[in-house]
Chain A
Amino acid sequence: MKGLEKAAEFVVAECIKRGADEAEAFVKSGEQTTVKVYQGEVELFTKSESRGMGVRVLADRKTGYAFSTVLDKTSLDGLVDDAIENARHCNPDEYAGLPEIFAEIPGDKPTSLLSTGFDSVDSKQKIDFATEMEATALKTDPMVIACEDTLYTDGKENVRLVNSKGFSGEYEHGAGFAYTSVLAGEKDDVMSGFAVMSGHDLTELDPVKIAEEAANQAVMLIGAESIKPRKTTVVFDPLVFIQIIMSISSAFSADAVQKGRSFLIGRRGKKIASENVTLIDDGSMPGGLGTAPFDDEGVPTQKTALIEEGVLTGLLYNSYSARKDRTNSTGNASRGSYKSTPGTSPTNLYVVPGVVSKEQLIKGIADGVFVISVQGLHAGVNAVTGQFSVGAGGILIEDGKLDHPVREITIASTLPDLLKNVVGICDDIRFISMGVNIGSPTIAIEGITVAGR
């Protein structure tokens, strides 16, 4: 990684030399392996390495960006010129600039968040893992027809940030995830089930558990029918609620609130959710897949309560939005890739679990729907307007018991109502990391419009 470090330092120094007031180089490099199996054979095996650099410059409070995957001297020269030229064409912004406070970097070795097992896992073990996942799903139930997609992937990444304010930091982290999607049923009644698990590497993943969960889900839905419209209590499976949290998380970014792009505008300090709801983002959480020593601007990560016992107590800040609100960055600056400009993103975001078990919770519900899959989240959930209506599949709850499977139903409400009407939070929190690490237990919400035919 020495070459990349030199390149980053060179770019920052050149930017200043050519007239920039501040400059920052963000370098990401990494490697990734992906295995897909189908019918016992390797369907896809990919192994790749990648790296690239993104530059941010400030000149007269104007910000310019440029990126490149070509990192030779000529290209880096061009990169610097482009970034400065790009800045000239932006409007000045009094809040623009690099952060003031940076993470302390101990020693000159990169912080490693890699699990020890990472490098000891070879390609064959990864192939075996995926093969076992598929084989297990196929024999879980006689109704299982096939696994449509069975995938294992892992990778590690090295992040280096250098800026003209003297910050220079580097860390390595890694993550793996595996999923399978299963088809079960017969003729015109084929249902699909999906399960996914993420961890620091293969040793934290369980192929049997993933396979059985996906297979059971598909089998459970066989014979599902639509139902008549009603207003009822919906119990969300953790995997489903994780996806819902993902699609509303942008509303908690201070930038979105400042720019009127959040349904939470003007709600800070107010009660926005039922008292049992506490939502935390914690970039410093030990062992979290979204954990890092500093964010993508070099600011230390931290624990931030977004909702505390129903009250909106915090928002996620990067240095830009923090300056606007005269507060400190919460260490949530995120660049996604060296190609993107720094935005705001959660790190490890989770709903604090309750004490009841899922079984106890369902036992107490006279009439409701246990939702195990949702569709159309990106169209049906609008974090700006607060609109919420998505398609779903699951099991009817009648007199505290799981009854008949249902499909082709929509569940609709508004995001403020969803948060206010949470009536039960279970003890079974799960985390899934696909970009952002999100955790949720099983959650029950009343007063949701469920529509079918």
Chain B
Amino acid sequence: MISEEVARSALKAALKKGGEFADLFAEERETTQATLEDGKVESFTSGVDSGAGLRVISKDSTFFTYTEVLSDSFITNTAAELAEAVTTPPGPDGGKQVILPEVLRSVRPGVIHKTRLSPSDVKRDEKAKILKRADEAARLVDPSVRQVTVSLSDVIKRVSIANSQGLFVRDTHVLTRLFVHVVATRAGNIKTGYEAPGIAGGYELFDEEEPDEIARKAAERAVGMLDAKPAPTGEMPVVLASGTSGVLFHEACGHGLEADAVRKGASVFAGKEGQMIAAEIVSAADDPTVPNRWGSFSFDDEGTAASKNVLIENGRMKGLMYDRMSAFQLHAEPTSNGRRQSFRFIPQPRMTNTYIMPGKDRPEDMFAGIKKGLYAVSLGGGEVNPATGDFVFGVTEGYLIENGEVKNPVEGAVLIGNGPRILLDIDRIADDLRFDTGMCGKGGQSVPAGTGQPTIRIKRLTVGGTGV
């Protein structure tokens, strides 16, 4: 890995022609992925992806490049080339010389997410066994299970991060995830279901839940949906189950609380700091310190130590999520939300583990008094327009609620609404907070993001289906 001296000389070279800030992100990423389909272990892939990204910030401009060759001379040369691209706009504060500290100071992590069983200590045979166990368990659920795809992936990522303010961080980050996708078919009717648990950690993932159990859940979801009827259409109360439906808050509200969107006025929450933006019972946070969760880490990808960030407190908007650039621009402190897909990308303000805090209600009490509504147990991804807050979500597992009771599964339901409005329309929050895993996309980059939520009830939301 890169030494402190090399990092320092690269930063110096990068700032030669101007710029107020420079940083270096060097990464070595070892990955393995094994895939099973049709009952066969189809492929085993392993590889090393390594390189360094270099960035210079000059006023509101970012100049960025990367190299895949991690040799000392190459990094310094790349930095010198980057300096040539810096076109610091002329002006009173343009081209100011940055004084680099004599020594970069190593920062120790505040929180460590321990890996108990490292991917490098698990043999390929063991990994193949996990795939097979999952496949067999899924197929045993029901004869209608027609296809099972299982994919197991792990990452060991070693990074060195240095910046012109004198920071130097070294960190190792481990990620492990199992993905099970099941197709069930009966009389021409096809349904799918999947489960994809993952942790910031190693193969102790399967201490929490065995591969068989994960696969069974995916299969039961697909099989259960074979009995689904067309989803109702129109405005109705919606109960969101704990866990996966946290993705709704992530998409519909979380992205609007990222500082870059707020700065550009491209967020419905711009200028609403301190105001009531949600029902009083709603509090929400982004927190990379939750032990070993999918979006957890010790340092973000700009070397900022992980810390919990309260976004909404008792309905009031409290904080935003910043990376360094947006913090510079908005005169704030970075909040450990500077994340990047790899050394090939620039950091952006991104969520880590975002969740609505638990309330006092019991989950089973959420349905009382609902004449006709929807119980959404699992949401597929969704999309939101941050400028308007309008969102759309597919319901991958949903049930009709009739006269206070959960009835038959429904298919093809889509939730459509507006982020700020549903925050105000939440009228019950249960005490059963659960986390789930996802990959969050933004600006062409994808990073692991944890989403969390207790069971919540939304007074009214538009459900789009095919059953008019």
Contact = CB atoms under 8 A, between A and B. Distances in A.
A43 B412 contact: no
Interface stretch (A68-76, A133-141, A167-175, A279-287): A68-76
Interface string A273-305: 000000000000000000000000000000000
A259 B392 contact: no
Given A64-B44, A69-B48, A89-B41, A384 B192 contact: yes
B44 A87 contact: yes
Contacts of B412: 387, 389, 412
A384 B183 contact: yes
A4 interface: no
Contact of A391 (B65, B127, B392): B392
Nearest to A183: B387
A50 B85 contact: no
Contacts of A87: 44
A145 B265 contact: yes
B414 interface: yes
B206 interface: no
Contacts of A451: 233-234, 416, 462-465, 468
Contacts of B45: 65-67, 86, 339, 341
A73 B33 CA distance: 24
A67 B60 CA distance: 37
B61 A43 contact: yes
Interface string B401-415: 000000000011110
Interface string B363-403: 00000000000000001111111011011111010000000
B53 to A, nearest CB: 9
B50 A377 contact: no
Contact of B124 (A85, A91, A229): A85
B462 A226 contact: yes
B234 A413 contact: no
B383 A375 contact: yes
Contacts of B38: 259
A339 B396 CA distance: 30
A2 interface: no
A260 interface: yes
B85 A260 contact: no
Contacts of B63: 44-46
Contact of A229 (B35, B191, B387, B468): B468
B296 interface: no
Given A339-B49, A412-B464, A65 B44 contact: yes
B462 A452 contact: yes
Interface residues of B, number: 79
B192 A409 contact: no
Given A42-B87, A380-B392, A451-B464, A192 B385 contact: yes
A90 B390 CA distance: 46
B89 interface: yes
A160 to B, nearest CB: 16
Contacts, number: 244
Contacts of A341: 35, 43, 45
B128 interface: yes
A396 to B, nearest CB: 17
A82 interface: yes
B264 interface: yes
Given A148-B264, A408-B417, A45 B47 contact: no
Interface string A179-213: 00001000000111000000000000000000000
Given A50-B344, A70-B48, A123-B85, A90 B41 contact: yes
What is the interface residue range for chain A against chain B?
35 or more
A67 B185 CA distance: 36
A119 interface: no
Contact of B394 (A69, A75, A389): A389
Contacts of B462: 226, 408, 410, 451-453
B68 A412 contact: no
B418 A386 contact: no
Interface string B65-102: 11110100000000000000101010000000000000
B42 A43 contact: no
B234 A66 contact: no
Interface centre among A70, A390, A393, A410, by most chain B C-beta atoms within 10 angstroms, is A410
Contact of A376 (B50, B89, B382): B382
A54 B46 CA distance: 10
A407 B418 CA distance: 11
Interface in B449-468: 462-466, 468
A295 B146 CA distance: 30
11 contacts: A50-B344, A67-B47, A183-B265, A191-B388, A229-B234, A339-B45, A341-B43, A376-B382, A379-B381, A380-B392, A410-B416
Given A145-B265, A260-B147, 20 more contacts: A41-B59, A44-B346, A45-B64, A49-B67, A51-B68, A52-B68, A63-B43, A90-B40, A90-B42, A146-B266, A226-B462, A260-B190, A375-B384, A379-B381, A382-B192, A389-B414, A391-B392, A391-B416, A451-B233, A451-B463
